Amino acid sequence: MNGPVASLNTTWFALIGLLWTGYFVLDGFDFGVGMLSQAISRDDIDRRLCRSAIGPIWDGNEVWLIVAAGATFASFPLWYASMFSAFYFVMFVVLAALIVRGVSFEFRIKGDTPRWRAGWDWALAVGSLVPAFAWGLMFTDLVHGLRLSGSGTYLGTFSDLFPPVAVAGGLASLALFVAHGATFLSLKTTEPLAGQARRVALWVSPAGGAVVIGTAAWLATTQRSGGLPGAVPVALAAGCALAFAASGLLVGGGRPGLAFALSALGIVAASAAVFTALFPRVMVSSGPGPSPTIWSAASAHLTLVVMTVVAAIFVPFVLLYQGWSYWVFRQRLTRPPAQAGGAAGSPSPTPAPDARG
């Protein structure tokens, strides 16, 4: 389907970009906390604090992934099919990691032995690390280019999904999510765990931003031009780097609330860089087939109209509910005072008075 730029095709491409952005911002700090729960925790209480920080909200955050995938399938079926033909095994691994990660929240409390708990703690960490890297890898591949046939079927091999620039993109998303999660922990918990998280955020935030701008510059030298000037995604990537650098300084200066807002803004900028680099394509083909575009990959116009009406009705309710859940669970978490030394059988972490930066 051909049409002007100002069309439902463009609108739904932008909406899908917003859905993925919401997922990366919200589940991104979940991934970061999951990885850091093993890296910076001193004892079982710290690991339980990390779990409690995301326990009430992690499953709601993943709804954004389901909605983004469903919206892609309904509005751009060729895009959905082409991505699955290329990333089928990678997505299977990501799905398995997300399942193991989710199960770890339920099964950890079913046993009392240190070995049992340690196993599920590692399940949370690895189940967070795998998608944190894989999402960056896949979206970098979409911009860098994949070998597609004329019908959009992937013609490359599994190893072709791992060019150096895509690996750099995976490391960039991994670093951003670690920094985002560390900033969230500094906001959500109290000392000494918050201090550990601040130190991680202070160092990883600027490093993650640097990897993002480096990856964007690398892609700019290799990618095929789209509908927007190549300087646009690079400028957005630079904005991401600046936001994370400022976030690291603010969290180190005791302003975790503002620091978390900036790290979220940095992820928004990074996601915008990906989608502006693609537009008006939905993914880049390195041949022999053409790159699918927002017109060639789109559903029928009536389908897009119906989806627009449904989204206009139900999305505000989803946003209101998720905002309400964040408000309910807004308190900081603190170590039980009587168990400051850390014992495996200690009481659950309790909310502390709200003192956000």
Mapped to the 3 state alphabet, what secondary structure does the chain carry? Answer: CCCCCCCHHHHHHHHHHHHHHHHHHHHHHHHHHHHHHHHCCCCHHHHHHHHHHHCCCHHHHCHHHHHHHHHHHHHCHHHHHHHHHHHHHHHHHHHHHHHHHHHHHHHHHHCCCHHHHHHHHHHHHHHHHHHHHHHHHHHHHHHHCECECCCCCECCCHHHHCCHHHHHHHHHHHHHHHHHHHHHHHHHECCCHHHHHHHHHHHHHHHHHHHHHHHHHHHHHHCCCCCCCCHHHHHHHHHHHHHHHHHHHHHHCCCHHHHHHHHHHHHHHHHHHHHHHHCCECCCECCCCCCCECCCCCCCHHHHHHHHHHHHHHHHHHHHHHHHHHHHCCCEEECCHHHCCCCCCCCCCEEECCCCC
User: What φ, ψ does residue 203 adopt, rounded to 5°?
Assistant: -95, -35
- Residue 337, in any domain of the structure: no
Residue 66's domain comprises 8-326
Instruction: Give the chain's domain count.
Output: 1
Per residue in 298-329, pLDDT tens?
888 888 999 899 888 888 888 888 888 888 88
- Residue 343, in any domain of the structure: no
- Residue 4 pLDDT grade (very low, low, confident, very high; cuts 50, 70, 90): very low
- For residue 237, is pLDDT > 70? yes
pLDDT for the residue 344 = 43
- Residue 349, in any domain of the structure: no
pLDDT for the residue 357 = 41
What share of the chain in percent tops pLDDT 70? 90
pTM (two decimals): 0.88
pLDDT for the residue 226 = 62
- For residue 71, is pLDDT > 50? yes
- Residue 345, in any domain of the structure: no
- For residue 28, is pLDDT > 60? yes
- Residue 346, in any domain of the structure: no
- The more confidently predicted of residues 225 and 147 is 147
Per residue in 7-18, pLDDT tens?
889 999 999 999
CA 311, 323, 266, 139 torsion: positive or negative?
negative
- Residue 50, in any domain of the structure: yes
- Residue 204, in any domain of the structure: yes
- Residue 258 pLDDT grade (very low, low, confident, very high; cuts 50, 70, 90): very high
Token pair of 33, please?
């906390």
- The more confidently predicted of residues 356 and 267 is 267
The CATH number of whichever domain residue 93 belongs to comes to: 1.20.1630
- Residue 333, in any domain of the structure: no
